[in-house]
Amino acid sequence: MRQETLARACMLDHPATAYIVPVRGPDGPAEYEVTWDELARDAAWTQDRLRGLGLAEGHRALVSFSGYEGAWFQPVIEALRNMGVVYGTSESMGWDHVRTRVFHRELDLHAVLGISLETLEALSGQAMIGDLFRDTPVLLGRPDAARRLRDAGVPAGIMTPLGPALAVECRERDGAHVNRAEWTVRERDGGLGVAAASAERAKGTGEIVLDTAGSVRTERCACGSDDPRVIFG
């Protein structure tokens, strides 16, 4: 019965749209669509970034994100799947910090991706976060979490949504890369402006200006990538 149902489901037309993301437009609330094709391209780019960080088949990873962040983190999960990395997920709101702690303790994690400051603050009530994460080879968090970890002596990098894009820092720790095939990122008065590189992506939004403090580097990174890098300030 189940096989029959699945076989019939496979014959149905699948909508191209995977997510609809609300955004603050110049004229008030707006939204844009994210398609499955776009997610697949994002996953391929993310996979290159994760390989560059040393992740490989058989490693174990924890991905920490909120339910509404699927458009940014589904490609991360897809990349891990394609690489054969075993992954778990936790909610990045502080109340789910116990899941992060349990995965960390039980799974011998090679990577923690996307960890939030809220999670770190909840964890720090139980353990010194420096001691907890010092031996995790790949640790990428939101900008404020990465700062807190570095202050605790852990050489953390950044993985974070940046407007419609995802920013991922490489081993050089010289700014978080943004996929230049999909996005442009520029310094603007009081923040950063992110726009789609093609007219097909994030249609109708134009440049999204974020009140995120930071600067942008466009010269080639020592890791070999020509993607622009954001130094969060």
Contacting range for Zn ion; rule: CB under 5 A; set: 55-63, 66-74, 107-115, 224-232: 224-232
Q: What gap in Å lies between CA 233 and CA 90, rounded to an integer?
A: 27
Considering beta carbons, is residue 154 or 170 the nearer one to Zn ion? 170
Give 33 or 172: the residue with its C-beta nearer to Zn ion.
Answer: 172
The string of DSSP letters for 28-72 reads EEEEEEEEHHHHHHHHHHHHHHHHHTT--TT-EEEEE--GGGHHH
Based on the shown chain and the rule CB under 5 A, indicate whether residue 33 belongs to the binding site for Zn ion.
no
DSSP for 157-177, please give it: EEEEEETTEEEEE-TT-S-EE
User: Could you tell me how many residues of this chain bind Zn ion (CB under 5 A)?
Assistant: 5
Distance CA 11, CA 2 (A): 15
CB of 179 to Zn ion, least distance (A): 12
Asked if 137 contacts 109 with a C-beta cutoff of 8 angstroms, the reply is no
Interface region with Zn ion, contact rule CB under 5 A, candidates 29-37, 62-70, 195-203, 219-227:
219-227
Among 48, 78, 172, 207, binds Zn ion (CB under 5 A): 172
Q: Which stretch binds Zn ion (CB under 5 A): 2-10, 39-47, 132-140, 169-177?
A: 169-177
Q: Does 221 bind Zn ion (CB under 5 A)?
A: yes
The sheet carrying 208-210 orders its strands as: 183-188, 191-196, 208-210
Segment interacting with Zn ion (CB under 5 A) among 34-42, 80-88, 98-106, 165-173: 165-173
SS3 content of the chain, % helix, strand, coil (to 5): 35, 30, 35
Closest approach of Zn ion to the CB of residue 189, in Å: 27
Q: Report the 10 Å Cβ neighbour count for 56.
A: 12
Q: Find the shortest distance in angstroms from Cβ 178 to Zn ion.
A: 11
Q: Is residue 170 close enough to count as binding Zn ion by CB under 5 A?
A: yes
223 near Zn ion, judged by CB under 5 A: yes
Q: How far is the CB of 172 from Zn ion (least distance, A)?
A: 5
Nearest-Å Rg of the Cα atoms of the chain is 18
166 contact partners, CB below 8 Å, separation of at least 6? 42, 46, 72, 73, 75, 76, 159, 160, 178, 179
Report the alpha-carbon distance of residue 81 to residue 75 in Å, rounded.
Answer: 10
Please tell me whether residue 48 binds Zn ion under the rule CB under 5 A: no
Shortest distance (Å) from residue 174 CB to Zn ion: 6
Interface with Zn ion by CB under 5 A: which range of 34-42, 86-94, 156-164, 221-229?
A: 221-229
Shortest distance in whole angstroms from residue 223 CB to Zn ion: 3
- Residues near Zn ion, by CB under 5 A: 170, 172, 221, 223, 225
